[in-house]
Chain A
Amino acid sequence: MLLEQALASYNASHPQACVATRRSGSGEILLELSGDMEMKASSDVAPLIEAAMLECPARGRLVLDLSRVGYISSTGVGLLSTTMIAAQRRSVAFVLLDIPPRVKGIMDTLGLLSFFNVEESHD
């Protein structure tokens, strides 16, 4: 429920950066982000990710689909890092799905990419 509220709140103020959520079996929550994860958008999306994390059961998976993210700022990378740490504390597998090359490049330049679980979709 918290996730639904956070999602509605985010989408109300970010018509361009549409976020959708989809749940599949075995405790997995998928968040599809779009738009730019610049400073403000990153701050705004944080409560949404936090809500998803809280709803994710222990030993479940929180998957962030970044395929439609065009740009990520250091604030965005910081958000991913803190989410990763929070996920480990909660025994939730935090997965970054389909990271665009430019976003991947920034994370790699910062030396942080290796800390994340990165997956490619098979669609």
Chain B
Amino acid sequence: MIEAGSGSSREELEREAERATRLLEATAELCRLFAQDDSEKANLAAVDVLKRFLAAEGAALFYVNGRREYRFCLSGAEFPIGLSEARWRESVGPVREVHGVARFGPWSLPGFGGPLPFWISAELYSSVSDAGYVLFGRSGAPWSDEEEMSLSSIAYTIAPIVGVRIEREREEFVRHQAEVLLSENEKRLRAFFEDSRDMIYTANSEDVVTSVNAAGLVLTGRTEKHEIVGHPFSGLALNAADREFFLRRIREEGYVEDYEIVLMRSDGATVFCLETAHTLRGLGGEILELQGIIKDISERIKSEGELWKANLELAEANLKLQQTQVLMVQHEKMASIGQLAAGIAHEINNPVGFLKSNHSILEKYTSRLRQAWEEARAAAGPAIAGIENRMDLPYVFSEFDTIFAESAEGFSRIMRIVGNLKNFSRNDQGADFELYDVNGGIESTLIVARNEIKYVAEVRERFGELPRIRARGGEVNQVILNILVNAAQAIEAQKRSEKGLIEIETLLHGDWVLIIIRDDGPGIPEAIRTRIFDPFFTTKEPGKGTGLGLSISYDIIVTKHGGKLSVESEPGEGTAFILELPVGGPPLAG
């Protein structure tokens, strides 16, 4: 605003008008400058215009530009001068102490010439942290009030323009900086994506791959990205159902962590992988993108798998070793029992032999003595009758026959038992297969098992006409004994009032001899029927069985003799064990 002085003359009025015109022209020129030129050169030109307008000797413009640089435009210079922040603050210090238009001096432009005594400055804007100033200096006379008013007016007009320019520049700078940062970030992310040693991929909501990094190509054995991009991810999985399972989880939970998946390489090799992924969703919650990282853990899985395998093999071998050891001990024990029985039978056989022989001789001699007594009594007459009556000899002689007959029967039974014991163990047989009488073997075994069976079951034999077969008789007898004792114990466990029944049937069927041992015991539940031949399987009370009898029996019949051992059972009705032995022995037995 321009005011005319009170009581001014015509010249003063004309001078005032001229000053106002010049002020308007200067202001207009400044506006044109700033309108035509967006660069800092407009600031340099503006300083020159103002210097001319104010007829100053020194002029300068301080400001902080959009890049946060401290700038100093000196009149007459071609380029603005950059200042450090400290230098700027030091230089502008005296100016900053006053707001608006101020007069001060003496002062010198920082680094340019000597001091001038009279300075005037105006604050251009203060919308940012550091304001801009225009400064003018001269030596002739102090700045007048009119000049101060003119500067104030110009500053008032151009301050918004300069401020807006600075703000716009700052915004552009910030935007540029953001773009640079964004670009750098994108480069970093791209490098991270491409250079990652793990597979990184993105897929759309339909699980069609939209991008994949180089590691993804290596992992899947592909050479070009288009082999993966544009195709469903499930095509990479060994089992597509695994991917479906993964997708179901990620759709429900939004992320999946450490999910193991097996991928198939293009060459058919499998790759064990660990995947962590999450979804990007739209405002409506719909899945926009799926982003995942997949790590190859094949080596780790391979090592672990081999370790587990080795441990399992070791445990299995250890178990087999223990079972074999126990089986051997049990085998040995059973064989030892047979040998012991055979040994005892052999030891009994000799004394029984001479006892029976002596018994026969004694019977013969006794008969002779009785005949001699009859003859002596006939010769001596009544004299000897007294002795005969006193000794009750007629009764003694009458008992002789009974005693000798009973003794002979006893000897025969002992001899038969001894014979059966020897026959049961087949101690006379070696390790080779020899001709074996199945029916005879069963008879012998029944003698040995008699004590186990006689109080709990009747035994019914239905023996067929059989040829002698090639077998290890002692071992077959062990099997029959085992089945008979099992049958007797099963019947006994029922604690029934009457005796049970064990039937033994033999028959020839083609080149096979069948031995069927049936009992009317409790039977075997179906659930355990397939396990009864397993080592250590038993349903007996602790201490009653080792669970090895049928396992060993199976080994003897099936493995050693090339035969068959099967079971038929009806719970509550009874059980039948069927032994089938080849007449000619096992194929390799010769």
Chain A residues in 8 Å Cβ range of B547: 59
Mark B281-322 against chain A: 1 for CB-CB distance below 8 A, else 0. 000000000000000010001001100110111011011000
Contact A105 B308 (CB under 8 A): no
**Given A74-B272, A91-B536, also A110-B301 (CB < 8 A):** yes
Q: Which of B262, B304, B536, B537 contacts A78 (CB 8 A)?
A: B304
Chain A residues in 8 Å Cβ range of B318: 88
Mark A16-47 against chain B: 1 for CB-CB distance below 8 A, else 0. 00000000001000000000001100000000
Contact A84 B536 (CB under 8 A): no
Contact A111 B304 (CB under 8 A): no
Mark A72-94 against chain B: 1 for CB-CB distance below 8 A, else 0. 01100110011011001101000
B270, CB-defined interface residue at 8 Å = yes
Contact B311 A81 (CB under 8 A): yes
Contact B301 A115 (CB under 8 A): no
Contact B241 A59 (CB under 8 A): no
Chain B residues in 8 Å Cβ range of A105: 239
Chain B residues in 8 Å Cβ range of A59: 536-538, 547
Q: Is the interface of A mostly helix, strand, loop or mixed?
A: helix
**Given A39-B258, A59-B536, A102-B242, also A88-B315 (CB < 8 A):** yes
A59 to chain B, nearest CB (A): 6
Chain B residues in 8 Å Cβ range of A84: 312, 315
Contact A112 B239 (CB under 8 A): no
B191, CB-defined interface residue at 8 Å = no
Mark B222-247 against chain A: 1 for CB-CB distance below 8 A, else 0. 00000000000000001101100100
B325, CB-defined interface residue at 8 Å = no
Chain B residues in 8 Å Cβ range of A102: 239, 241-242, 245
Chain B residues in 8 Å Cβ range of A71: 242, 245
Chain B residues in 8 Å Cβ range of A85: 311-312, 315
B265-281 interface with A by 8 A CB criterion: 270, 272
Contact B259 A38 (CB under 8 A): yes
B537-557 interface with A by 8 A CB criterion: 537-539, 547
B260, CB-defined interface residue at 8 Å = yes
> With the chains together, A38 CA to B312 CA distance in Å?
22
By CB atoms of chain A within 10 A, which of B308, B319, B539 has the most? B308
B528, CB-defined interface residue at 8 Å = yes
> With the chains together, A61 CA to B260 CA distance in Å?
30
**Given A74-B272, A81-B312, also A110-B305 (CB < 8 A):** yes
Contact B536 A26 (CB under 8 A): no
Chain A residues in 8 Å Cβ range of B315: 84-85, 88-89
Chain A residues in 8 Å Cβ range of B241: 102
> With the chains together, A91 CA to B259 CA distance in Å?
34
B577 to chain A, nearest CB (A): 21
- Chain B residue nearest to A76 (CB atoms) is B260
Contact A78 B245 (CB under 8 A): no
- Chain A residue nearest to B319 (CB atoms) is A88
B195 to chain A, nearest CB (A): 28
- Chain B residue nearest to A115 (CB atoms) is B312
Chain A residues in 8 Å Cβ range of B311: 81-82, 85
Chain A residues in 8 Å Cβ range of B262: 106, 109
> With the chains together, A55 CA to B539 CA distance in Å?
19
A104 to chain B, nearest CB (A): 11
Chain A residues in 8 Å Cβ range of B537: 59
B248 to chain A, nearest CB (A): 9
> With the chains together, A70 CA to B248 CA distance in Å?
12
**Given A26-B528, A115-B312, also A74-B258 (CB < 8 A):** no
Chain B residues in 8 Å Cβ range of A91: 536
> With the chains together, A38 CA to B536 CA distance in Å?
36
Chain B residues in 8 Å Cβ range of A109: 238, 262, 270
> With the chains together, A109 CA to B269 CA distance in Å?
11
Contact A88 B308 (CB under 8 A): no
Mark B516-548 against chain A: 1 for CB-CB distance below 8 A, else 0. 000000000001100000001111000000010
Chain A residues in 8 Å Cβ range of B538: 59
User: Can you list 6 A-B pairs, Cβ within 8 angstroms, ordered by A?
Assistant: A74-B301, A82-B308, A102-B245, A110-B305, A112-B305, A112-B312
The 9 closest A-B pairs by CB, nearest first: A81-B308, A115-B312, A85-B315, A110-B305, A73-B260, A88-B315, A88-B319, A74-B301, A85-B311
Residues of B within 8 A of A (CB): 238-239, 241-242, 245, 258-260, 262, 270, 272, 297, 301, 304-305, 308-309, 311-313, 315-316, 318-319, 527-528, 536-539, 547
